[in-house]
Amino acid sequence: MWGDSGRPVLIASTAAFTGLIAIGSWIAIPFVPVPLTLQTLFVILSGAVMRRYAVLPNVLYILMGALNIPVFHSGTAGIAVLLGPTGGYVLGFVPGALATGLAYEHRNPVLRITGIIIGLAIIFLCGMTWLSFSAGISLSTAFLIGVLPFIPGDAIKGYAVYLIAGRLEALADRGGDP
């Protein structure tokens, strides 16, 4: 998909999605113990647009935050964030984006929708598991406070990703002409 001639596009896409994921983390509705942000929209959209290469902006985002660049929710940074209650969700971005990206390598709409759902589910599963461990609560409690309240919002974000990615793909197929 990217090849040698596409490398500048890959680099630009990686930079753009890294920035969008960081910006999405700043657009937050405070929620205990996990804030509601637009990050997952951009994480899953990176998969839909960059396919399997979506791991690049997500890994870069995590590395930047781990290196104390304030890109995590509400401008936080550092390893402590990754070890805190939200760390599992953030680390789940990489496999979540990859799952979506692999599904988007096919033009089948059902497979793409399934990829979005699986990508979000992976993020939830990683987040819920780490939330349970880090907060010392049961998995069922972690599900009730760290997954269930976010399902409606993430369903809307997933639908938005499907529409946005479809529009971007249509533009690309026409050579960028609206």
DSSP 58: H
Instruction: State which residues of the chain have pLDDT below 70.
Output: 1-3, 31-35, 176-178
Residue 2 in any domain: the answer is no
The sign of the dihedral angle between the CA atoms of 41, 44, 46, 50 is: negative
Range of the domain at 106: 7-173
**Token pair 């990703």: residue:** 161
The string of pLDDT tens digits covering residues 53-83 is 999 999 999 999 999 999 998 899 999 999 9
Domain membership of residue 29 (yes or no) is yes
Question: Does some domain include residue 138?
Answer: yes
Within a domain: residue 31? yes
Report CA-CA distances (Å) from 10 to 33, 35, 98, 126, 156. Answer: 35, 30, 15, 27, 27
Q: Which residues contact 150 (CB under 8 A, 6 or more apart)?
A: 34, 36, 124
In a domain, 120, yes or no: yes
Residue 105 is assigned to a structural domain of this protein: yes
Domain count, the chain: 1
The CATH number linked to 118 is 1.10.1760.20
The pLDDT value recorded for residue 2 is 60
